[in-house]
């Protein structure tokens, strides 16, 4: 990747949460940012503060035509895009039985197909440049799961697989890919604007009440303001990682989850091998 003294970012979901924190931090360090949000007025103040350093654009990632227009406009405006950061997303709250097909489709439109649209719009431009760094905000829930937000977890598992395949496909063009995996943070992600709720069923009321009161309430949340310097160390590295944890609990949680999976696979390995059949 060609290292630029000041980087040009394209960031989705820049109005709140990590998107807002990272947008402001990038601008504060002298980078340029094409900041996008569904409602442009939610990021208009960035223009007042940072002037020509920032380009504010309206973008709903579920609208492919708008995605292509925004990416093309940003590239033309700044002359290049060094970092394309897919950050827009939300969580669907509901058990697997409760969520409707429409609920799940809407979640995937934003969390999976939206980022894909951004990537597909950006890749021809990044290939022509001969460099670029695609970042995607996933979660530690891209490796582990929780009940009640299972569909959100599944969207992040899909997100992880897409980006891992992408990394191999675009490496020959000088394009790098990093999946950002935050743990729990005290952002607006838990706000009503970032959550959608499936229609509840009485059968799960007690289970969900206990889950929210015991499990979620006990989760230690990090400080979003502590994340930018770690993020910048990663994007400024000559060889950034494919996966990048944010927070101090992710690795231990992921290690435990994979240890349990390996133990089960190994316990059943002899039975599994019998399904191979004879060599052909």
Total structural domains within the chain: 1
The catalytic position among 90, 152, 185, 204 is 152
Do the domain assignments include residue 2?
Answer: no
Tokens encoding 113: 């197909």
CB 84 within 8 A of CB 122: yes
Dist. CA 256–CA 241, nearest whole Å: 21
Catalytic: which of 90, 108, 151, 156? Answer: 156
| Residue 258 designated active-site | no
* Cα radius of gyration rounded to whole Å, the chain: 20
- What six digits make up the tokens of 232? 């910048």
Task: Read off the pTM.
Answer: 0.93
The per-residue pLDDT string of the chain (280 residues; one tens digit each, 9 = 90 and over) reads: 445 579 999 999 999 899 999 999 999 999 999 999 999 999 999 999 999 999 999 999 999 999 999 999 999 999 999 999 999 999 999 999 999 999 999 999 999 999 999 999 999 999 999 999 999 999 999 999 999 999 999 999 999 999 999 999 999 999 999 999 998 877 655 544 568 999 999 999 999 999 888 877 767 788 899 999 999 999 999 999 999 999 888 999 999 999 999 999 999 999 999 999 987 7
In a domain, 279, yes or no: no
* Annotated active-site residue in 138, 139, 154, 155: 138
Q: With respect to residue 48, please indicate whether it lies within any of the assigned structural domains.
A: yes
Q: Is 15 a catalytic residue?
A: no
Report in angstroms the alpha-carbon separations of 192 from 15, 84, 92, 98, 197.
14, 27, 11, 19, 9
Q: Do residues 24 and 40 make contact, with C-beta atoms less than 8 angstroms apart?
A: no
- Retrieve residue 148's tokens: 């009640």
Which structural domain range is residue 20 located in? 8-273
Question: The CATH number of the domain where 69 resides is what?
Answer: 3.40.50.720
CA distance 191 to 181: 20
Q: 108 an active-site residue?
A: no
Q: Would residue 60 count as lying in a domain?
A: yes
**Is residue 38 one of the residues assigned to a domain?**
yes
């Amino acid at each position: 990747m060609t290292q630029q003294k000041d980087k040009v970012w394209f960031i989705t979901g820049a109005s709140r949460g990590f998107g807002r924190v990272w947008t402001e931090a990038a601008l504060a360090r002298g980078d340029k940012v094409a900041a996008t949000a569904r409602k442009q007025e939610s990021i208009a103040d960035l223009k007042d503060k940072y002037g020509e350093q920032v380009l504010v654009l309206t973008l709903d990632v579920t609208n492919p035509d708008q995605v292509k227009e925004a990416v093309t406009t940003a590239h033309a405006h700044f002359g290049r895009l060094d970092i394309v950061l897919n950050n827009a997303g939300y969580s669907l709250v509901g058990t697997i039985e409760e969520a409707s097909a429409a609920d799940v489709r809407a979640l995937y439109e934003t969390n999976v197909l939206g980022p894909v649209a951004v990537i597909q719009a950006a890749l021809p431009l990044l290939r022509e440049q001969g460099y670029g760094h695609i970042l995607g905000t996933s979660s530690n829930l891209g490796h582990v799961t929780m009940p009640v937000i299972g569909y959100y977890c599944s969207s992040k598992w899909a997100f992880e697989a897409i980006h891992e395949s992408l990394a191999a496909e675009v490496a020959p063009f000088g394009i790098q890919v990093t999946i950002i995996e935050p743990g729990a943070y005290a952002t607006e992600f838990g706000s009503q604007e970032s959550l959608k709720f499936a229609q509840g069923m009485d059968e799960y009321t007690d289970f969900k009440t206990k889950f929210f009161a015991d499990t979620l309430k006990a989760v230690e949340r990090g400080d979003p303001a502590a994340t930018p310097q770690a993020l910048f160390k990663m994007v400024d590295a000559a060889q950034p990682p494919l996966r990048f944890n944010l927070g101090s609990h992710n690795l231990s949680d992921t290690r435990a989850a994979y240890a349990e999976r390996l133990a089960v696979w190994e316990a059943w390995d002899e039975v599994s091998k019998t399904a191979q059949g004879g060599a052909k």
